[in-house]
Amino acid sequence: MAHINENRDALLGRIKRIAGQVGAVERALGGNANCTEVLHLVAAVRGAVNGLLDEIIVEHLEAHVARDGLSPEERQQGAEDLVTIIRRYSK
């Protein structure tokens, strides 16, 4: 959990902002926002989530695969985590 601990506050800040953006979409859908506004709000959430996922992937790569002192088994597990994400979510 090292890299999550080190960057917890930064990551929490980003996810809270995303939660706020998602809340804005909810209010827009519940209120009278027009479709174009909803379209842009959702697209902005997508951009923010992509940025967060990239950041967590980069940190996972460094902390669980590249870092000095990891055992071969730890490196393989860290690499497998990333391969699963790459195969499932990147198009």
Residues in contact with a second copy by the rule CB under 8 A: 1, 3-4, 8, 11-12, 15-16, 18-19, 22-23, 25-26, 29-30, 32-36, 38-40, 42-43, 45-47, 49-50, 52-54, 56-66, 68, 72, 75-76, 78-79, 81-91
Taking the complex as a whole, how short is the minimal distance between the CB of residue 91 and a second copy, in angstroms? Answer: 3
Task: Report which of 56, 53, 44 is spatially closest to residue 20, judged by C-alpha positions.
Answer: 44
Burial track 34-44 (b if 16+ CB lie within 10 A, e otherwise): eeeeeeebeee
Number of helices (H), then strands (E), belonging to the chain: the values are 3, 0
Q: How far is the CB of 20 from a second copy (least distance, A)?
A: 10
Nearest-10 Cα torsion for 42, 48, 54, 58: -160
The single residue listed with the structure tokens 């393989």 is 76
Task: Tell the smallest beta-carbon distance from residue 80 to a second copy (Å).
Answer: 9
| Least distance to a second copy, CB of residue 19, Å | 5
